């Protein structure tokens, strides 16, 4: 009964969130491989990232601590699904879901970033990486914590702070499928202090002026480490 009520409330939340790219509360979401429990989830995610060569091209092997839920009005990122760019025009809602209930609820500042390592194409990525989005102040959602729904409702009004505004995926014609990679980042030293993150000087090459450079370097410079990831494929309808 409670679960049902929560689910309904959650649906209402999810539709609310569509209006603005804010971080919303506890949507019931099924992370990849969740039936296998946390271990299965972790292994499946890392294996998909390797299969897609996001590891090692964009990020290194990491320990997933948070499930990265990315939801647009008419599309959802699902670890390697293919989406129509037309449905990705507005910034999505982001939830970073804590899968381990006994993890000390941390108050570290969480950041989400979106990068395209396949610009202009995966075969010839001379413009890569392209920085599509950096937003910080993303709330952590506890997957098992049903009691805090009301506090989440109020939190749902909290907007994330853009470091680099969202630029929707716009893969050029005849460049095949691009990987669009979402990464959740947390301060490496575990500080709970407010971070002052640098804004990349440009989207192309994340401002570093070098092919294949981007998210990894920016995260390193800002003392951040990867704690979660998700990705989609998108391509231009003209191929
Ligand atoms: C932790 O890392 C952040 C971001 O790099 C830095 O600003 C801060 O000074 C560091 N804090 C400690 C205690 O090392």
pLDDT at 37: 52
Give 110 Cα–ligand 1 centroid separation in angstroms: 14
Beta carbon of 189 within 6 Å of any ligand 1 atom: yes
Question: Range of 191's domain?
Answer: 2-234
Give dist(CA 178, CA 110) in Å, integer: 26
**212 found inside a domain:** yes
**239 found inside a domain:** no
Q: pLDDT for 27-81, tens place per residue? A: 444 455 444 455 557 889 999 999 999 999 999 999 999 999 999 999 999 999 9
Read off the pLDDT of each residue in 121-139 and give the average, rounded to a whole number.
97
**Which residues are within 8 A (CB) of 204 and not within 5 positions of it... i.e. 6 or more apart?**
119, 127, 130
Give dist(CA 169, CA 237) in Å, integer: 13
Closest CA to 165 of 234, 221, 226, 91: 91
Give the distance, in angstroms, between the CA of residue 37 and the centroid of all CA atoms in the same chain: 21
Give dist(CA 179, CA 111) in Å, integer: 20
pLDDT at 44: 93
Q: Is the pLDDT of residue 180 over 90?
A: yes
Q: Is the pLDDT of residue 107 over 60?
A: yes
**83 found inside a domain:** yes
The pair phi, psi for residue 97, each rounded to 5°, is: -105, 125
Q: Is the pTM of this model over 0.75?
A: yes
Number of domains in the chain: 1
For residue 170, what are the CA distances in angstroms to 49, 80, 124?
22, 17, 16
SS3 1: coil
**170 found inside a domain:** yes
Give the domain CATH number at 14: 3.90.280.10
Beta carbon of 195 within 6 Å of any ligand 1 atom: yes
Q: To test ligand 1's pocket by mutation, which of 108, 109, 191 has the most ligand atoms within 8 angstroms of CB? A: 191
Environment class of 78 (CB within 10 Å of its CB; exposed 0-12, middle 13-18, buried 19+): middle
**186 found inside a domain:** yes
Environment class of 43 (CB within 10 Å of its CB; exposed 0-12, middle 13-18, buried 19+): middle
pLDDT at 15: 39
Ligand 1 atom closest to the Cα of residue 222 is: 5
Q: Could you tell me the pLDDT band of residue 238, with boundaries at 50, 70 and 90?
A: very high
**218 found inside a domain:** yes
**Which residues are within 8 A (CB) of 104 and not within 5 positions of it... i.e. 6 or more apart?**
none
How does DSSP classify residue 138? Answer: E
């Amino acid at each position: 009964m409670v679960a049902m009520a929560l689910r309904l409330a959650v649906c209402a939340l999810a539709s609310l969130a569509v209006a603005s790219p804010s971080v919303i509360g506890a949507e019931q979401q099924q992370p990849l491989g969740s039936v296998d429990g946390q271990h299965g989830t972790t292994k499946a995610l890392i294996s998909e990232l390797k299969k897609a060569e996001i590891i090692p091209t964009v990020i290194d092997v990491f320990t997933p601590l948070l499930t990265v839920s990315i939801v647009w009005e008419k599309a959802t990122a699902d670890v390697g699904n293919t989406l129509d760019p037309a449905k990705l025009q507005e910034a999505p809602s982001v939830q970073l879901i804590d899968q381990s209930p006994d993890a000390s609820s941390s108050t570290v500042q969480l950041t989400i970033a979106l990068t395209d390592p396949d610009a202009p194409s995966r075969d010839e990525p001379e413009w890569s990486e392209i920085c599509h989005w950096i937003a910080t102040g993303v709330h952590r959602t506890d997957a098992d914590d049903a009691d805090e729904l009301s506090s989440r409702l109020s939190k749902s009004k909290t907007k994330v702070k853009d470091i680099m505004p969202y630029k929707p995926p716009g893969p050029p014609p005849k460049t095949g499928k691009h990987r669009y990679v979402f990464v959740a980042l947390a301060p490496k030293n575990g500080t709970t202090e407010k971070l002052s993150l640098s804004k990349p000087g440009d989207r192309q090459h994340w401002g570093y002026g070098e092919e294949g450079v981007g998210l990894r370097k920016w995260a390193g410079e800002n003392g951040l480490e990867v704690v979660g990831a998700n990705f989609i494929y998108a391509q231009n309808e003209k191929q």
